[in-house]
Each structure stands twice: as structure tokens, then as C-alpha cells.
Structure 1
Amino acid sequence: MSETALEEVSVLSSIYCREGEFILTPRAAQDGLMVQINSTVGAERRLDVSLLFHLHPSYPSCPPAISVCSTSLSRTQCQDIRQKLLDQAADLPPEPMVHQLVEWLQLCWEVPEKCKEEKKEVEKEEEWTAVLSLDHIRSQSRYIGLLQRWSLQLQLTGRVLLGRSILVILQGARPSIKEFCRLLKTVKVDVDSSGRKCKERMMKVLIESPLSPLVDTGSRVLW
């Protein structure tokens, strides 16, 4: 990471200093940093929003990747915020911009009139549960980091069971689960026995059914 990016992260930790407001997740050198800022948006209604910025090693020469999730907003509204932040980032010069993006969101984004009652009736999308079987996890920090990022981007709840069998349990919209599975098979998520990056070609969907509550099995909750 550049000195400029590291300095920005230090400043952000000072600005967003309330408990749980700023979370930094170090990545491998080639993967950059993950910065999570928990904020509120909207002048009339203060709505909680979690913003995840993936700062690539070349940042700020390139804009950050952004994910948005919220228990106060619908999936459509979160996607709308994410797109507006990406558009805003694309218009900014190549310099530290995370604080500027968060401030812009806090000051400029408002809940559209037609969406103000959506919290009372959440999107009428049927929720599903899926259980996936993974072949191996050798580069655990990289692999699980990608799973976390995809689940945030796709608005999924998940957990991983690490043992003799490696299982991933997902809950959320069925199209999002299908996209998660597609990413697993098409993106290089791990390394093979020779240390080369590889895709999860051996992933299997063991169960896919309408939503049932996650049970406490002593598994490791990762996102």
C-alpha cells in the first residue's frame, strides 16, 4: 500500500472513533486493505448504513471497490447507494477519497419518497438457505476474505464450518445465492498444492431450500 493510503487510514480511524464506527481488516500485500465505516444517512430519518471500502494496492490511483449493507434499508436502496458512491468516486481526482465519499453520502443522499415505507414491508423476495461443500481452503485469510466480501455485496448472511468437511451456509435471496456460487467457480479464490492460484471447481450445493433459521452448531461465524 502507498504511504498516502496508509496515512488516510490512520486519519479515518481518528475521525470515526466511536465504538464500532471504524473497522480495518488488513489483507495480504497483493490484496490491499478493507475499511468498514458504520455511518448514518438521511437528514429526516437517520438510517444506519455499513460501508465497506476495498482499497487496492494501487489506491488512490484507482477508486476503491465499495459494498453497502443496512438493516434499515432494502437491498434495492443499498444497491442505489453503492452505485451513487461509485459514480461519485469515478468523478474525483486520484487522491484519498474515502472520507469525502462518506461525507457526501451523509449530506446528499435522501431516502426516495416511494421508498420511505419500505422498512415496514421489506422486499417481498423469498429467502432461501443453501449449504455448499468446499474441496479445500489452503489460503484461509484470502479465501474467507473473498467469501465475506461477496456475502456483503450480495446481501447474504453466512457462516463457515471448518472441519473434516468444509461447509458454507448461506441465507438470502435465491438469485444472490446463485451468483455467490457462480463467483466461487469462476474466480481464483485459493491456491493449489503448488501454491498457484486456483478456482473452486469442486464446490457442490448439498442443500437449497426456503429459509430455515441458522442453528448453533459450534461453527465459526465469519460474516
Structure 2
Amino acid sequence: MSEAAFEEVSVLSSIYCGEGEFQLTQQSAQDGLLVQINSTVGGERGLDVRLLFHLHPCYPSCPPAVSVSSTGLSRTQCHDIRQKLLDRAAALPPEPMVHQLVEWLQQCVEVTENCRGCEEEEEEGREREKEEWTAVLSLDHIRSRSRYTGLLERWTQQLQLSGRLLLGRSILVILQGARPSIKEFCRLLRTVKVDVDSSGKKCKERMMKVLTESPASSPGGRGLQGFVVTNYKSLPELTAAFQEINMTDVYQQIRPSLRD
């Protein structure tokens, strides 16, 4: 080991002289030195971070290896901090650098903590996307019933949705499932030629309307299963169809939009 390395270890033991702050865990001419420094960082949170520096026999001509652990940070965050310290060490001149790296740890943790907040927001967003949603769509017309209903059923299967097609004076599609899947279903309706117009030419469902869209009121106890086509002849029959699947409240929301 170089004299500079031993001098640095001596200085570090003087700087980090609090109880449990510094420990020389290994000293070997063949394997080098293992220095453990326990530091409290992260401002008000006061995170305890343990740094283990492996000073190779050729140190400081080559940067140290670094290990990071903390009970207050996730494994991913510790890995991120370690990589930042290694990158910093590689950018420094070949001279004793452990103290600089320990001081720079504060900045690493602050950046990681900020990222953690972003990650938590992203995770919340992903969880919201997994929530069960209910949507009711209104279709303008169905002329090619076989083709149209076949596509609707196929899309619900592909998107892992449950659905019900209600055919009567108003044509309604009730969907339950993940919100992104419902949005994709709506996109397909507007962009794929699902029906034929009055002249018999294939056409898209440009007149589709989303009457209501909201989180399902009873996750895990969904009223729909698979894809079912139901015909109704009157508003009382339509009301009964919604009651059958425990969606009377949904029916009350869309009732003003329906044709009498």
C-alpha cells in the first residue's frame, strides 16, 4: 500500500471520530484496505448510510471500490448512490479522495430523495391505472350487427375488459376494467371501420360518446363478466338491465342523455 493511503486512513480516523463512525476492517499488503464509514445524511430525515471503501494496493492511482447500504433507503436507491460515487471517483485526479466522496454523499442522497418523490408519484399513477373503472358509451347506430358486436367482443377480450352491449332505442356499451384499457377501446371505436353506413360502405364510429367514466364503486365485486349482448324494448327494461348488474347509480347519471 502507498504511504498516501495510510496517511489518508489516519486522517479519516481523526475526522470521523464519533462512536461507530469509522472502522478499518481489513489491512493487507495483497488485498489492500477496507475502510467503513457510517454517515448521517439527508437533512431532516437523518438517514444513516454505511459506506465501505476498498482501497486497492495501487490506490490512489486507481479509484476505490465502494459499497453503500442504508436501512432508510431502498436497494435501488443505494445502488444509484453507489454508481454516482463511482462515477465521481473516476472523474477525480489520482490522489486521496475518500473524504471528498463522503462529503459528496450528501448531494447524492438529496438527488436520490428527490427522485424518490418522483418515483412515488409515478407509482401512485401506475396504481391508479390498475384501479377498476366503469364507463358507459353511447353508439349512434349498428347496421352490421354481426360484424360490429364481434369486434366489440374481441376488443374486450384483448384488453381484458368486461362489457355489456345494450340494444334498444339507445345503444349503450358498458365497460369495466383498467382505465387505460377503456381508453384504448374508445380509440379503436373511433379509428377502426366497425360498421357500414346507409350506402353499405364500411365506416368508423365517429358519433360515439362517453356518457360517464368513473372508478368502479365496488372493486373486486364487479357486476359484469365476459361480454354479453342484451336487447331491451322500453326504459323500464333498460332500468332493469342496470339493476341486474348493480349499476342503478350509473343509470341515474346517464338517464338525462338517453333517448325517450
Report the TM-score, using the length of structure 1 for normalisation: 0.50
Structure holding more helix per residue: 2
Higher relative contact order (CA 8 A, sep 6+): 1
Report the TM-score, using the length of structure 2 for normalisation: 0.43
